[in-house]
Amino acid sequence: MDLDQIKTFLSVAAHGSFQAAAGHLYVTQSTVSIRIQRLEAELGAALFVRNRAGAALTSQGQRFLPHAQSLLLTFEQARHDIGLPSRFRASIAIGARVGLWQAVLPDWIGEIRRTIPDIAIRGEIGFEDDLMRGLIQGRIDIGMMYTPQHSAGLLIEHLFDETLILLASEPNRRWPDPDYVYVDWGPAFYTKHANCFPDLEGPAQRVNIGWLAAQLVSRNGGSCFLPERIAAPLIAAGRLFPLANSPSFTLPAYMVSARAADHDILRQVVDLLRAAALRERHGDGRDRAEPA
């Protein structure tokens, strides 16, 4: 068993097909097949069921997944630690949606740095699919997102709830709004939005980042849904206005990490994030958001 086999196994598990894994790893599909065959031979078990739809983990593959994640995480941690300056004893990779980086994570990261000053932190911005792949492959240690996918070996924990409110470029703007910008806040938001506005025609503008919607609306006119914490400074600055009598939506935020984290630093960071989220839920967090 070698590291390339582990990386290939995790890539197939994350992408659901040998072909997609080959593209991600920049190798041929036959190389992926050979690596998986050799890994299965060494383990004495079939790890994937191959079919026209792709490749799905067998029960043995599901059981091996957390071990593979742990093996790769240990190696990646060792690789990062060896290359660290002497003042750092470990490194942690944290990936999150841009809205969470904009809203709460800068202060949370600051608290981690003050509490554990001798660790290095690498931050990434991504969407759910990329973040989950990074977690499964061991490239990301902790992921924070709105719509996580369940995967063996990963622990999903509720952090806090965002409240999405409808903002407009003028306080009395008509609704429905022909310049409405739909923000893709994930499947749960899509369902709630569709149920609340069943007769709403498809919007002329769609984006996948709240910051971009705020820029479009404030510069060109229109409306969009944004989290309250991000909306607060925009409202205070008179750039956007909440529409009266409009609905609001709850958007849960989650943290995803290794279920059996055996790295002391990783456990400590996860505990600090849990404590910060608990304070957030109890209303002890400060207004952190900067103008979009």
**Can you give the CATH number for the domain in which 25 is found?**
1.10.10.10
Give the domain range for residue 125: 67-159+253-281
Q: Rounded CA gap, 94 and 26, in Å?
A: 25
How many other CB atoms are there within 10 angstroms of residue 17's CB atom? 19
User: Residues 44, 78: one domain?
Assistant: no
- Looking at the structure, tell me whether residues 153 and 258 fall in a common domain: yes
Give a yes or no: residue 292 inside a domain: no
The full DSSP string for 162-214 is EEEEEEESSTT--SS-TTBEEE---HHHHHHHHHH-TTPPPPSEEES-HHHHH
What band does 290 get if pLDDT is binned at 50, 70 and 90? very low
Residues 6+ apart with CB under 8 A from 162: 99, 103, 146, 227, 228, 229, 250, 251, 252, 253
Reply yes or no on whether the pLDDT at 17 is more than 60.
yes
- Whether residue 205 is contained in a domain is answered as yes
Choose the final residue of a domain: 27, 42, 64.
64
Residues 116 and 224 grouped into a single domain: no
Residue 287 lies in a domain: no
Q: Please indicate, yes or no, whether residues 60 and 72 belong to a single structural domain of this protein.
A: no
Query: Nearest-CA neighbor of 9 among 84, 74, 71, 101?
Result: 71
The band of 232, judged by pLDDT with boundaries at 50, 70 and 90, is: very high
Where a domain ends, among 46, 64, 82? 64
Evaluate whether residue 52 is within a structural domain.
yes
Going by the DSSP 8-state scheme, the letter that residue 19 receives in this structure is H
Shared domain for 141 and 276, answered yes or no, is: yes
> Residue 226 belongs to a domain with what CATH number?
3.40.190.10
Residues 82 and 222 in one domain: no
Pair 151, 276 in one domain: yes
Instruction: Please report whether residue 291 resides in a domain.
Output: no
Asked if residue 223 is part of any domain, the answer here is yes
Residues 78 and 141 in one domain: yes
288 domain-assigned: no
For residues 81 and 90, the answer to whether their CB atoms sit within 8 Å is: yes
- Say yes or no: 195 and 91 in one domain: no
pLDDT in tens, 96-122: 998 899 879 999 999 999 999 999 999
Question: Which of 24 and 192 is assigned the larger pLDDT?
Answer: 192
Give the total number of structural domains in the chain.
3
What is the sign of the dihedral through the CA atoms of 197, 198, 201 and 202? positive
Q: Which of 72, 86, 83 is nearest to 5 (CA)?
A: 72
* 289 pLDDT above the threshold of 50: no
pLDDT of 287 strictly over 60: no
pLDDT band for 89, please (50, 70, 90 cuts).
confident
Taking a C-beta distance cutoff of 8 angstroms, is the pair 286, 233 a contact? no
- 280 Cα distance to chain centroid: 19
Note whether 153 and 263 are same-domain residues.
yes
Is there a domain that residue 289 lies in?
A: no
Q: Are residues 97 and 120 in the same domain?
A: yes
DSSP 128: H
Cβ–Cβ contacts within 10 Å for residue 78, how many?
11
Among 125, 120, 76, which Cα is nearest to 105's?
125
